[in-house]
Amino acid sequence: MARLAESSARHPPRPAWRRRVPSVFLTRYPLGWRLLLPRRRTPDRGDALFIGPAGVFAPEHTQDPDPGSHAASSAARPGGEGAPPELAPRSAREPAAVARPAAEALADTPLSGDRSHAGATARLVSIAAANAGGHGRSTGALLHFDERTLDRLVRTDSPRLRRAEAARVAEAAARRLPDHDLVAIDEDTSSTETSPLFDEDTVRGAARDRAVSGAFVSRIAFLDSRQTDLVEGIHSGPARISGPAGTGKTVVALHRLARMARRSSDRLLFTTFVRSPPAVHQRSCQRLAPEVADRVEFVGLHRWTRGLLAERGRPLTVDRRAVRNCFASAWRRHRTEDLQALTPYDYWRTEIDRVIKGRGLTSFAQYRGVHRRGRRVALTVDQRALVWALYERYQHNLRDRGVYDDNDLLAAPHEEIRRRPPGRSYSAVVVDEVPDVVLLRLRLLHGLVDDRPDGLLRVGDGQQQVHPGGWPLSDAGIPVRGRGEILRTDYRNSAEIIRYARRLDAVDQVDDLDGAAGIALRDAVVAHPGGRVDQWTGSDEDFDAGLVAAVRAVPVDETGDVAVLATTNAETRRMFRAPADAGVAVSRLDDHDGAQTGTVKVGTVLRAKGLEFSAVFRALITVGDVGLDDGVRRERAEQATRQRLVAATRARDRLWVGRVTAGKGPGSS
């Protein structure tokens, strides 16, 4: 406080309430907050920078939180104090211009290595005198508070910055703003916190602390210079970002969406084929850009498609049991020695779902010549003809019984969009986890924005594809202009986790989503040292106890930042029951929406795509594929390895892999 008083003395006289805000602020919120106060006010910059756990704010002290609002009449202002005569009311100034110096002071601030704070996350806040009526409303880029409601701005259950991080960001910004005073209450943060992002000395052990404490790590607070370029860059047409796990592809996409939303009043769409991530990312977007987040729609592809059809009065549902029956009866009619001997039944279902229908093939001539990328069972022309006959029978059954499968759900909107383009049009569409999105769906999304600049952004990592089959994305009719952007620093996984996952990655070529060579995890730059991997092997009957003991050894705090991941739904049910019976609080990963539930999330690896946890427990239960054709076995092995890679790279600090072996009794390796 003495330092604040000393600093205030150097400031030009200003109305009492405006002097009061920083001191009240520091009295109420000493822990972790830093204030940067300008020695001289200038019309083109904000009044200060407040940097603390809730983020970075550029407050504007204003006479009127909302010009023209009755709530902000002069009678409401204590002592009739208002804006200084030399300046126009701040809210009348261009918020983006005022925020710019703050963003520049923070943007790309060198911290350690290639990391930096994302200046664009600084929020411009208008703070009015007490009772002036600002309650956290947002108008455009500006958030409105008054002296008394400031609480709502700075109190947060989801800190964006650790205290040590806030201190580091503030110090860096102070170096950039030499005409500002840095004010903080001195405190010793070292006993309670470490900052693995910034301090190489404290970094060893920090990852473990992060795991054990379950500390919240803000997904969106940091961007390195390469990522900042990708956020700011203008794409002349459809663009793509690829890179290994944890390199910030999604974070970049979220920042881009926030930036675009702030600059226009259009609607934007973020979608992916997995159900949970859109809800989780929506929360991140709300923290990143609360004033515009409602214009960014986060929705799974299935839900979006169903929504469009329902809006058009053509609701379609997929009755999976009926779909299975349609395929089973087609198989009974068309299975031949040839097909049956080659591979099991479900292989052909995938062939139809992903290679034929998912790719939008409509004639045998197309199927006959198509490169079945990622499918390891080679087919002669005659065999393809057999598959085509099976497909036609399946289609006949669907039509006959009035049943729709997932791909039909995609084909219908194509017709709808052709008939009448969606009223709620989007100016930009981001598709995450692209390698797993069927071609038909990608075409549909492309159709929403066509080739307009900054319209379509495809994000993904070929190495993490969990569904079989694939195609060069250029087959979707989306123009490929130059190379895609590749990120290569893994900020999520601690070194030990990466070391483990790298051993899994020799599996397949990795491309940049358009067939050119991409970057595999083995080539990623490691940002965090430390981490821990435990491997358990044992018999099926000992597995549950092994898993429960391991889960119990990691305390689960209120963030519930822990997941148990299995391969199949049946295994997931078992993985749910075992800890639940032992008294561990569990919840379904399918229901996870990013809220802090204090429960261990249990689900399939597929459902975990795009998410991350402090600790991950991976169950490897199913043993071997006996008696399968080599091609099928190879394809399954590749898929299994990719799933293992995806599961392992969901873990930031701690990974446990439990594998059931033929032998009896648990052991450790």
Phi, psi (deg, nearest 5) at residue 177: -120, 75
Closest approach of ligand ATP to the CB of residue 651, in Å: 11
Q: Supply 109's token pair.
A: 């601030």
Number of Cβ atoms within 10 Å of the Cβ of 100: 19
238-277 binders of ligand ATP (CB under 6 A): 243, 245-251
Taking the C-alpha atoms of residue 47 and residue 45, their distance in angstroms, rounded to an integer, is 7
Please give the full DSSP string across 502-550, using - where no structure is assigned: HTT-TTS--BSSSSSB---GGGPEEEE---EEEEEEE-HHHHHHHHHHH
Taking the C-alpha atoms of residue 623 and residue 640, their distance in angstroms, rounded to an integer, is 11
- If one asks whether residue 530 binds ligand ATP (CB under 6 A), the answer comes out as no
Draw the binding track, 200-219, toward ligand ATP (x: CB under 6 A; -: no contact). -----------------x-x
Closest approach of ligand ATP to the CB of residue 581, in Å: 32
161-200 binders of ligand ATP (CB under 6 A): 197
Q: Please give the single-letter amino acid code of residue 628.
A: L
Q: Is 244 annotated as a binding residue?
A: yes
Radius of gyration for the chain, computed over Cα atoms and rounded to the nearest angstrom: 28
Q: Is 447 annotated as a binding residue?
A: no
Q: Is 249 annotated as a binding residue?
A: yes
Q: Is 344 annotated as a binding residue?
A: no
Q: Which stretch binds ligand ATP (CB under 6 A): 168-176, 222-230, 294-302, 591-599?
A: 222-230
Taking the C-alpha atoms of residue 279 and residue 210, their distance in angstroms, rounded to an integer, is 24
Closest approach of ligand ATP to the CB of residue 386, in Å: 38
21 or 120, CB closer to ligand ATP? 120
402-461 binders of ligand ATP (CB under 6 A): 461
Residue 586 · residue 599 · CB < 8 Å: yes
464 or 559, CB closer to ligand ATP? 464
Residue 601 · residue 593 · CB < 8 Å: no
454-473 binders of ligand ATP (CB under 6 A): 461, 464
Taking the C-alpha atoms of residue 59 and residue 554, their distance in angstroms, rounded to an integer, is 40
Give the number of residues in contact with ligand ATP, rule: CB under 6 A. Answer: 23
Q: How many residues does the chain have?
A: 669
CA–CA distances in Å: residue 539 to residues 301, 566, 646 = 39, 16, 24
118 or 578, CB closer to ligand ATP? 118
351 or 511, CB closer to ligand ATP? 511
Closest approach of ligand ATP to the CB of residue 149, in Å: 29
- If one asks whether residue 492 binds ligand ATP (CB under 6 A), the answer comes out as yes
Q: Please give the single-letter amino acid code of residue 280.
A: V
- If one asks whether residue 227 binds ligand ATP (CB under 6 A), the answer comes out as yes
- If one asks whether residue 610 binds ligand ATP (CB under 6 A), the answer comes out as yes
Q: Is 580 annotated as a binding residue?
A: no
Taking the C-alpha atoms of residue 371 and residue 253, their distance in angstroms, rounded to an integer, is 31
210 or 334, CB closer to ligand ATP? 210
Closest approach of ligand ATP to the CB of residue 458, in Å: 13
Residue 217 · residue 461 · CB < 8 Å: no
21 or 563, CB closer to ligand ATP? 563
Residue 379 · residue 372 · CB < 8 Å: yes
Residue 230 · residue 120 · CB < 8 Å: no
Helix axes 381-401, 320-334, angle to 10 degrees: 130
Q: Is 248 annotated as a binding residue?
A: yes
224 or 653, CB closer to ligand ATP? 224
Q: Is 136 annotated as a binding residue?
A: no
Closest approach of ligand ATP to the CB of residue 110, in Å: 12
Draw the binding track, 612-631, toward ligand ATP (x: CB under 6 A; -: no contact). x-------------------
Taking the C-alpha atoms of residue 306 and residue 308, their distance in angstroms, rounded to an integer, is 5
- If one asks whether residue 494 binds ligand ATP (CB under 6 A), the answer comes out as no
CA–CA distances in Å: residue 345 to residues 151, 330, 337, 338, 360 = 61, 11, 12, 12, 22
Closest approach of ligand ATP to the CB of residue 118, in Å: 8
Closest approach of ligand ATP to the CB of residue 464, in Å: 6
CA–CA distances in Å: residue 201 to residues 169, 195, 491, 531 = 17, 10, 18, 16
438 or 501, CB closer to ligand ATP? 501
Q: Supply 573's token pair.
A: 């049910």
Draw the binding track, 95-134, toward ligand ATP (x: CB under 6 A; -: no contact). --------------------x-------------------
99 or 221, CB closer to ligand ATP? 221
222 or 304, CB closer to ligand ATP? 222
Residue 303 neighbours by CB under 8 Å, 6+ apart: 275
Which pairing describes strands 532-538 and 562-566: parallel, antiparallel, or unpaired? unpaired
291 or 612, CB closer to ligand ATP? 612
Residue 144 · residue 138 · CB < 8 Å: yes
Closest approach of ligand ATP to the CB of residue 246, in Å: 4
- Which residue do the tokens 């979006």 mark? 304
Closest approach of ligand ATP to the CB of residue 119, in Å: 13
* CA torsion through residues 377, 382, 385, 390, sign: negative
Q: Is 546 annotated as a binding residue?
A: no
Closest approach of ligand ATP to the CB of residue 299, in Å: 18
Binding-site annotation: residue ranges for ATP: 243-250
Residues that bind ligand ATP (CB under 6 A): 115, 197, 217, 219, 222-224, 227, 243, 245-251, 461, 464, 491-492, 610, 612, 649
Binding-site members are 243-250
